[in-house]
């Protein structure tokens, strides 16, 4: 133990500790001030590739703040009163529709749901014309589409923010929910290792555009022929180098899982790939996440899946275990889409302290 003399106000040890504390406090204050000055109003969100580290942290902070104030403190925050959102869905969804509709309404706004039966993007009317029409009716548009180029066309012509509710290339709103879930569970994100075991799809692409910016290491295992897009890999490698994180690509699930904090997978057969199901199930043999997979991960490992889940992707023992965060992850789709919409539409400043990232 340090003696009272060593810890006296004039001792070198005391002065050193005081200096370290002062530096730590300044660093925390600087971090909070940095995030507090980030403005996103008027922006669109097609991919988190377009967002900086501080901008993503700001989105997570606003989301956590809204969750605390509304869920825990039971506050009513009509931040979007008098506003409306057009929700275009070329693809069905439970979580994206429910989180957006309930979240927008909870904030005092009016959601308008449009299916392919209501609106035919690029068929009866061009995407550009649709974007201009909806800009006159609504304050923001969320579109869940097959082709990412559809979102780019909408965004180019619209005068209101466009949110990617899912495309063939990216799924940014899912990744915001995933990282909020991990931040809540582990207390911070920097230094965590996330292992993706499955298809090189849109969800993985969004992980690759985000992880390094939050100080998260990423290990990826995909079967040969199912790797992420080359352009996405190149950008992820650049981000990893820039932020000093590790990025591993392999075809061995156990190699990817080794030393990991978080094991993640997703569907092996996405909507529109039903004809490939038999071949995909054959090619993904050995990629099911089980307790055996987790045996090489870190002792505190957890599991994520964006849902809906199939048995071949992860067994019941893992999926329904205490390590599984899938249901808090699903709920956080609501708080993060709310945080995103508030950030893109208002000048809202969070009232709760900045989380540790």
Render pLDDT for 204-229 as a digit per residue (tens, 0 to 9): 999 999 999 999 999 999 999 999 99
- pLDDT at residue 38 in the model: 87
Determine whether 127 is an active site residue: no
**Fold: same for 48-171+333-345 and 174-270+277-331:** yes
Q: How far is CA 277 from CA 96, 223, 233, 341, in A?
A: 24, 15, 25, 36
Q: How far is it, in rounded angstroms, from Cα 299 to Cα 216?
A: 18
What are the tens digits of pLDDT across the range 66-120? Answer: 999 999 999 999 999 999 999 999 999 999 999 999 999 999 999 999 998 888 7
Over residues 24-48, the mean pLDDT reads 73
Q: What is the pLDDT of residue 273?
A: 66
pLDDT at 24: 37
Distances (CA, A) of 261 to 65, 310, 341, 346: 25, 22, 30, 35
**25 vs 10, more confident:** 10
| Contacts of range 135-139, beta carbons closer than 8 Å, 24 or more positions apart | 135/159, 135/160, 137/84, 137/86, 137/112, 138/84, 138/85, 138/86, 138/112, 139/80, 139/83, 139/84, 139/85, 139/109, 139/345
Look at residue 3 in the predicted model and tell me its pLDDT: 40
Q: Which tokens is 250 given?
A: 């392999």
How much is the mean pLDDT over the chain? 91
Question: Cβ(264)–Cβ(303) under 8 Å?
Answer: yes
The residue assigned the tokens 């377009």 is 50
Give pLDDT, residue 32.
56
Is there a contact between 8 and 126 (Cβ–Cβ < 8 Å)? no
Q: How far apart are CA 334 and CA 338, in angstroms?
A: 6
Q: What does the domain layout of the chain look like in residue ranges? A: 48-171+333-345, 174-270+277-331
| Separation between Cα atoms, residue 84 and residue 160, nearest integer Å | 11
Checking if the pLDDT of 319 tops 80, the result is yes
> What's residue 91's pLDDT?
92
- Exposure class string for 111-150: b at 16+ Cβ within 10 A, else e: bbebeeeebebeeeeebeebbeebbeebbbbbbbbeebeb
Inform me whether the pLDDT recorded for 25 exceeds 50: no
CATH architecture type of domain 48-171+333-345: 3-Layer(aba) Sandwich (3.40)
> 14 falls in which pLDDT band (50, 70, 90)?
very low
| Per-residue model confidence (pLDDT) at position 29 | 39
Please give the sequence-ordered ranges of beta strands (E in DSSP) within the chain, or none if there are none: 84-89, 110-115, 140-144, 162-166, 193-197, 217-221, 247-250, 262-265, 302-305
Residue 5 has pLDDT above 70, yes or no: no
Q: What is the DSSP string of 82-115?
A: T-EEEEEESS--SHHHHHHHHHHHHTT-EEEEEE
Per-residue pLDDT, 120:
75
CA 294, chain centre distance (Å): 23
Q: How many CB atoms lie within 10 A of CB 24?
A: 10
User: CA-CA distance, 47 to 172, in Å (whole number)?
Assistant: 6
pLDDT of residue 109: 98
Topology of domain 174-270+277-331, per CATH? Rossmann fold (3.40.50)
- CA distance readout (Å), 48 to 22, 115, 163, 172, 248: 34, 25, 11, 6, 20
Tell me which of 45, 127, 138, 306 is the catalytic residue. Answer: 306
In the prediction, which pLDDT does 34 show?
Answer: 77
**pTM confidence score:** 0.90
For residue 124, what pLDDT is reported? 81
pLDDT above 90 for 237: yes
* Rounded distance between C-alpha atoms, residue 271 and residue 180, angstroms: 26
pLDDT band of residue 324 (cuts 50, 70, 90) is very high
């Amino acid at each position: 133990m340090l003696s009272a003399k060593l810890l006296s106000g004039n001792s070198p040890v005391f002065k050193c500790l005081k200096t370290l504390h002062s530096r730590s406090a300044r660093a925390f204050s600087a971090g909070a001030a940095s995030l507090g000055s980030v403005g996103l109003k008027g922006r669109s969100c097609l991919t988190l590739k377009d967002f900086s580290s501080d901008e993503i942290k700001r989105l997570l902070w606003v989301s956590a703040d809204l969750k605390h104030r509304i869920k825990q403190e039971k506050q009513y925050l009509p931040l979007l009163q008098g506003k409306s959102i057009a929700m275009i869905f070329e693809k069905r969804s439970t979580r994206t529709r429910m989180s957006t509709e309930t979240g927008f309404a909870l904030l005092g706004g009016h959601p308008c749901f449009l299916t392919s039966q209501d609106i035919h993007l690029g068929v009866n009317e061009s995407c550009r014309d649709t974007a201009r029409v909806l800009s006159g009716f609504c304050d923001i548009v969320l579109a869940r589409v097959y082709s990412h180029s559809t979102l780019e066309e909408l965004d180019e012509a619209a005068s209101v923010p466009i949110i990617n509710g899912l495309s063939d290339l990216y799924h940014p709103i899912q990744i915001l929910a995933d990282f909020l879930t991990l931040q809540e569970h582990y207390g911070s994100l920097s230094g965590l290792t996330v292992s993706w075991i499955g298809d090189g799809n849109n969800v993985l692409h969004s992980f690759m555009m985000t992880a390094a910016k939050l100080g998260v290491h990423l290990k990826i295992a995909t079967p040969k022929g199912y790797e992420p897009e080359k352009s996405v890999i190149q950008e992820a490698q650049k981000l990893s180098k820039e932020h000093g994180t590790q990025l591993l690509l392999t075809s061995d699930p156990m190699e990817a899982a080794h030393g990991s904090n978080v094991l993640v997978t997703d569907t092996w057969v996405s909507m529109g790939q039903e004809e490939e199901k038999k071949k995909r199930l054959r090619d993904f043999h050995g990629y099911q996440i089980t307790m055996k997979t987790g045996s090489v991960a870190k002792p505190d490992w957890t599991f994520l899946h964006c849902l809906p889940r199939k048995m071949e992707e992860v067994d019941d023992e893992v999926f329904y275990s205490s390590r599984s965060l899938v249901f808090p992850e699903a709920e956080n789709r609501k708080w993060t889409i709310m945080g995103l919409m508030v950030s893109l539409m208002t000048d809202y400043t969070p009232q709760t302290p900045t989380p540790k990232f």
